Amino acid sequence: MKTMDEKSKSAANEGVFNISSERKKGLKPNLKRINTKKLAELSVFTSVAMILSYVEALIPSVGIPGAKLGLANIAVIFILYRFGWREAAAVSLVRVLLVSLLFGSIPAMIYSIAGATLSLIVMVLLKRTDTFSSVGVSVAGGVSHNAGQIAVAAFMLGTKEIAYYMPVLIISGIIAGIIVGLCGAVLVKYVKY
């Protein structure tokens, strides 16, 4: 009979970590295991997304307030195509929360969560149609990210006039979406496991 320590080591070697308390509760097998390899990979991509967010914050503005490349979304696009929407949502949410807490503010977090949520919803729906390439999905994500942020800004500021800024953000979202989508496509094609 294996001791508890031997069971833990055996499970870790198999790439699975069993949670004994959940097993005692009678949870389904897929709910009581965490694939440690997948968890490590998602953690690496969350870290990469955070680093890209930080690097992007160091890049001077191009004269268009609120316009950014969204480099961190390269990781989100990769995760969406490599793992799936749940994992992409987790990486996106964790990245937004950590970057906002470390380098931003609560209002910035609210804008980022709104943009990231709408962007991810649109990207997941378009990806499921199998009609758009990763670049097309990324462009739609970039534009919808800006739309989500404008909607929150209109609500928080109590004015609809901010929507007049949307055409500028649509153009910047398209440009950023193309760049992010191309980078994501290269990663999906050449990064193998």
Structure-token pair, residue 191: 């990064």
**Cα angle for residues 44, 50, 54 (degrees, 5° grid):** 145
Q: Is the pTM of this model over 0.85?
A: no
Cβ-Cβ contacts under 8 Å for 34 (sequence gap 6 or more): 16, 17, 19
Domains and CATH numbers, the chain: 35-190 (1.10.1760.20)
pLDDT digits (tens, 9 = 90+) for 83-106: 999 999 999 999 999 998 888 888
Q: Which of 80, 66, 69, 72 is nearest to 133 (CA)?
A: 80
Q: Which helix (H) or strand (E) holds 143?
A: helix 134-157
pLDDT digits (tens, 9 = 90+) for 49-68: 999 988 888 887 777 766 77
Residue 13 reports pLDDT greater than 50: no
Say which range, 8-22, 23-37, 155-169, has the weakest mean pLDDT.
8-22
Sequence-distant contacts of 187-191: CB under 8 A, at least 24 apart: 187/74, 187/77, 187/78, 188/77, 188/78, 188/81, 188/82, 188/134, 191/78, 191/82
Q: Which residues pair with 17 in a beta bridge?
A: 34
**Cα angle for residues 182, 185, 186 (degrees, 5° grid):** 90
Residue 192 DSSP one-character state: -
